[in-house]
Structure 1
Amino acid sequence: MSTLRFSLIICTYMRPEPLIKLLKSVQDQTLYPHEILIIDGSTNNDTELVLQENSFENLHYFRVDDKDRGLTRQRNFGISKVNSQSDIVCFLDDDVILEPDYFKNLLHTYEVFPEALGVGGYINNEVKWEKIGNNYIPLNKDFCHDGWKRTDGSRFVLRKKLNLDSNCPPGFSPTFSHGRSIGFLPPSNKTYQVEQLMGGVSSFKKSVFDTLSFSTYFEGYGLYEDADFTLRVAKKGKLYVNTAARLAHFHAPSGRPNQYSYGKMVVRNGWYVWRVKKPKPSFQDHLKWNCITILLTFIRFTNAIKGSNKKAAFTEALGRTVGWWSLIFNKPVISSKDKTNV
């Protein structure tokens, strides 16, 4: 059993029922957190009331006001409240449910790889994978990795046809960004080195936060804040994903932005993350980033004609379009702190 002391931070917003389901799965863990910090940005007291009705060991509740509301600000607030004796700080989204050995397997990774600055868990309910043999010949719709395959969505099939696919393993960002996330790692029970983690299933050595914090550029919902932070951490040391540390993600709809705002964030926040890592991209990288951004916007517009949720697809595509055009006249300003910490 791990001797590491670890704290769990859960940032939540208007999701009392999913939060309780998560905490009950934490309660069933074979390795229990030394402290649980609930950082609540809700604009009502529903979450506070439901926590008063349900008792969880080592839990500390904090309700934040406007100046600390939003995912990155709530995470930074939570870090400031972590016990000084903790070795590891874990983060979980409020709409996930853990398998019983999640923390046991996550913490064990730090013992196997003592140089690790961060370790991520593995979401196992979103993608269907299939084990393949050595002689398997992949189709264009397949994505294959480490003896497993999954079906690519239309965006990656098109990108492969146009020679715009990522040239890096999953969890690594190419020089033109638009890489494949850790969701493209197979359920092999192996541990893989990466340079990006998903913030809602992540953990870091507490010492990381002596010099780094989550960027406050990412307001509110904070899309891609995890990519920004972990790319900066990866410049200082190694990050891993342990696919044996498993959990399910249920994407609670409450607390999410509307599709127009989401589409705009995809482009503008994506540009920010790309340029923090690559301040001076080559002409080819610049061309590829823009081509992929336009292609993904086009696909969302086609979804508005052929897809099952036409209105959502159209409003997201509109947000992406506005976000792309806005980069010509009003690029995001990269903070000097984020530049320094790359």
Structure 2
Amino acid sequence: MSHALRHRSSRTTMPEDIAPASEAVVICTRNRPDVLRETLRSVFSQSGAAERPVLVVDGSDRTEATHTARVVQSQSDSRLPVWYHRYSGVPAGTRQRNAGVDLLPDSVEVVHFIDDDVTLRPGYFDALCEVLNQKRHLLGVGGVIAESEGAPSRSRVRWAHRLFLLRVDQPSRVLPSGHTTPAWPTGESDMQPAAWLSTCASSYRASVFDTHRFDPAVEGPSPRLEDLDFSVRVARDGPLAVVPEARCLHRVSGRNRRGTAATTRERLVRRYWFVRKNMDRPLNRLAFWWSTLGQLIALVTSSDPDSRAALRGHVRGLRQAWTRAHPLLGEGVDDG
């Protein structure tokens, strides 16, 4: 990669024994040392791993942090540049990613974000960097993420999904309601324009962080939607894209995740937070509430065993969003 991009002027550098590099990987983790081990193996199995430093930013509890540091050390050798950083603040994926970016050397032009429960397929970084080299106008790129072995699943879009602005037949879209569609292969090898990228597996030019940061107000286990918030803001400055050849498997660790009711409640509230912050127009707010009605109808009529818990969470989320009884919706929240 060329060194034409501007860099941040006030960053702490990584240790001197890690040579300057044009790209680096940032992995944020918390209390998942065994899961992280498998992810690191897949990162180090990629071509060019010796020239691609990996920074693990750990927000684990004390005992788990000791275990995590040992895992990182066990995966490193003189040929594989990896650095472990214990995050000293209140753990949050947003804050840890921001801290990771600040610790990278000024030579880094592309920052790859990988979740700690992701397995990369061969050629992942090569595919992304090839596109970034060829398409200098792109500010960020992402891969196609699967949650099971084989081809990424693509949910069938029904008329009700379209009616209630919950889903469409196009990948990587952001709907007027704030709902999104994931990336999926379309049968073409060319890159696909994207309205948003998941930090589960995405890469940004380092110059992006001169202007944008992940919102530090967003904390807690998944779902957080901080990747949607961040990438939509970046997309206002320049285009994003998905590269179909860059594939990965999201193993979806059960640690640091909420139950069905809490997940449903939090997802609804954070979706409303995203709309208010990034799409704050009367029609978008109306579209959001219209979509929650569609979800409510679907849950009431569902025969899924988890639907009762999801319905409870949905109702609680509606109440929180309407009354703004949530830290992200209260006055004085830092929007990043």
- Whether the TM-score (by the shorter chain) exceeds 0.5 is yes
Answering whether residue 235 of structure 2 is matched by residue 212 of structure 1, we say: no
- The equivalent of 2:135 in structure 1 is 113
For 1:101 and 1:51, locate their aligned partners in 2 and report how far apart those are by CA, in whole Å: 22
- The equivalent of 1:18 in structure 2 is 35
Contact 1:31 1:101 in 2 (8 A): no
Q: Which runs of 5+ in 1 are unaligned?
A: 131-148
**The residue matched to 2:270 in structure 1 has which SS?**
helix
- The equivalent of 2:229 in structure 1 is 228
**The residue matched to 1:42 in structure 2 has which SS?**
coil
For 2:103 and 2:291, locate their aligned partners in 1 and report how far apart those are by CA, in whole Å: 41
For 1:231 and 1:278, locate their aligned partners in 2 and report how far apart those are by CA, in whole Å: 10
What amino acid is aligned across from residue 256 of structure 2 in structure 1? G
**The residue matched to 2:311 in structure 1 has which SS?**
helix
**The residue matched to 1:213 in structure 2 has which SS?**
coil
Answering whether residue 113 of structure 2 is matched by residue 91 of structure 1, we say: yes
For 1:64 and 1:105, locate their aligned partners in 2 and report how far apart those are by CA, in whole Å: 31
- Change in Cα spacing, 1:257 to 1:35, as seen in structure 2 (3 Å) is same
What amino acid is aligned across from residue 325 of structure 1 in structure 2? R
Answering whether residue 85 of structure 2 is matched by residue 62 of structure 1, we say: yes
- The equivalent of 1:39 in structure 2 is 57
Contact 1:272 1:334 in 2 (8 A): no
Which digits, 9 at most, give the CA deviation of each residue in 1:151-208, with x for residues without a partner? 516xx45324x464556842232323223232x4536332111120011111101011
Give the deviation of 1:302 after TM superposition.
4.5
Output aligned runs, 1:1-342, within 5 Å.
5-32=22-49, 34-43=52-61, 44=64, 45-56=66-77, 57-65=80-88, 67-124=89-146, 126=148, 150-152=154-156, 156-160=158-162, 162=163, 164=165, 166=167, 169-182=170-183, 184-186=184-186, 188-221=188-221, 223-282=224-283, 285-303=284-302, 306-307=303-304, 310=305, 312-330=306-324, 332-333=329-330, 338=335
Deviates further, 324-333 or 15-24: 324-333
- The equivalent of 1:136 in structure 2 is none
Give the deviation of 1:105 after TM superposition.
0.6
Contact 2:200 2:250 in 1 (8 A): no
For 2:166 and 2:320, locate their aligned partners in 1 and report how far apart those are by CA, in whole Å: 25
For 2:164 and 2:71, locate their aligned partners in 1 and report how far apart those are by CA, in whole Å: 51
Give the deviation of 1:298 after TM superposition.
3.9
Which digits, 9 at most, give the CA deviation of each residue in 1:245-297, with x for residues without a partner? 11111111112123332112111110111122211222xx4333212213224
Q: Which runs of 5+ in 2 are unaligned?
A: 3-20
**The residue matched to 1:9 in structure 2 has which SS?**
strand
What is the CA RMSD across the aligned residues, in angstroms? 2.6
For 1:93 and 1:275, locate their aligned partners in 2 and report how far apart those are by CA, in whole Å: 27
- Change in Cα spacing, 1:64 to 1:172, as seen in structure 2 (3 Å) is same
The alignment's TM-score, normalised by the length of structure 2, stands at: 0.82
Give the deviation of 1:68 after TM superposition.
3.9
For 1:164 and 1:270, locate their aligned partners in 2 and report how far apart those are by CA, in whole Å: 13
For 1:37 and 1:314, locate their aligned partners in 2 and report how far apart those are by CA, in whole Å: 41
For 2:147 and 2:261, locate their aligned partners in 1 and report how far apart those are by CA, in whole Å: 27
Give the deviation of 1:219 after TM superposition.
1.0
For 2:189 and 2:310, locate their aligned partners in 1 and report how far apart those are by CA, in whole Å: 35
What amino acid is aligned across from residue 115 of structure 1 in structure 2? H
- Change in Cα spacing, 1:188 to 1:221, as seen in structure 2 (3 Å) is farther
Give the deviation of 1:239 after TM superposition.
0.6
What amino acid is aligned across from residue 275 of structure 1 in structure 2? R
The percent identity for this pair of structures is 26
For 2:197 and 2:82, locate their aligned partners in 1 and report how far apart those are by CA, in whole Å: 25
Give the deviation of 1:335 after TM superposition.
6.3
**The residue matched to 1:257 in structure 2 has which SS?**
coil
